[in-house]
Chains A and B, each alone.
Chain A
Amino acid sequence: MNAMLKMSQLIDGLNGRLGRGLMWLILAAVLISAGNAIVRKAFDMSSNALLEIQWYLFASVFMLGSGFAFLKNAHVRIDFISNHLSAKTRNLIDMVGIVVFLLPLCYMLITLSWPLFANAWNSGEMSQNAGGLIRWPMYGLIPLGFTLLALQGLSELIKRAAFLSGAGPDVISHIETESKDEIGHEIEEHAAHVQEEVR
């Protein structure tokens, strides 16, 4: 179990760091997109590479960030029934879901998308727009992203199992309360700040 938990920590570290890096791409996309619009109107210039890089950046964020979102328990759940279940049942449901559905899903999408990537890599496929970008990095995002998601699935599986065997905390409820505390804390801070200003 210890070796497994170690591995889970490694995966969490990888996806966590990746996610914190990816979020800057959003800022880059904002700046590039606003820049494109302004430059096009002001100087009557535009470049297809700069137009395409916008969706390259955003696609990278959500394809590679899925594992990160799973780590942060940010993929929404419809939880008005599961909230009434015991922590044990909820963890069990997650384990079954990961093994029976999530991992096969990732496996399928990786095997299906790999030929697409290999093709684009070998042929050096370019965007059909003049001055557009090379395509293989985008095709590559699909297998890579689902690999990262599968890895995170594995890590979450280990954490759920650890909880059920008494070797670890309840991560699902833990994250929930933590994020609730975070929100509560944020609101309090905000409130203090506002009151200060009103004075």
Chain B
Amino acid sequence: MSDDQDLSALYQSADKPQPPAALDETVRAAAHQAVKPKRSHTPQWLGGIAASLIAALLITQLMPTVEQEADISIRQNDMRLPATDAVEPGLELREAAPAAAAPKSAPLESKPDRARTGNQIMLEKSELKRSQPRKKATARDEADAILSSEPVEEEVRGALSTPVVVPTSAETELQNIIDLLDAGRLREAEQRLDDFRQRYPEVEIPETLTRRLEPPDTD
């Protein structure tokens, strides 16, 4: 055993070379790099927030469009039916088509008989949307009958395929004109109203507004 110890002592008497500094550096760098937290460009939680924001943005952008489409649908029905024959907003041609045979000569009024203002229409529509009143079966049947008549059907189908988009800014525009009138800027109001008529030919001008723009009676 002492012989082994001698040999061991001889071996241990030799120089003890160390790894080169460059090698140490390489190994240490690799070790540090391996445990370094990986910086992803977008952390997972940030991705979740981004997705939520996009979803919220989509909802806020799509909701007015959906409402607007519903408004258009109601408007079309309002414009084509007599005042008492209001049709449910969701009632579409698809429902009406197979309905009972109706008089083919059913007249279609492109303009409503009622003298309702644009604001009134909007109000009624919003109320209609909120309450979703169930009209009595007779009104519905009448509506079905009118809609199922071929010329009307064609017209409605065409109208639905190329929907009239009423920008939500129409009300604002009207309010602006009223504001101009309130401010006494009559000429400007008239000009704006002319522009409005060109841009929104399908929107009725509130009677109160037209009355204010009429020249006063000189008699």
A binds B: no
* Interface of B toward A, CB cutoff 8 Å: none
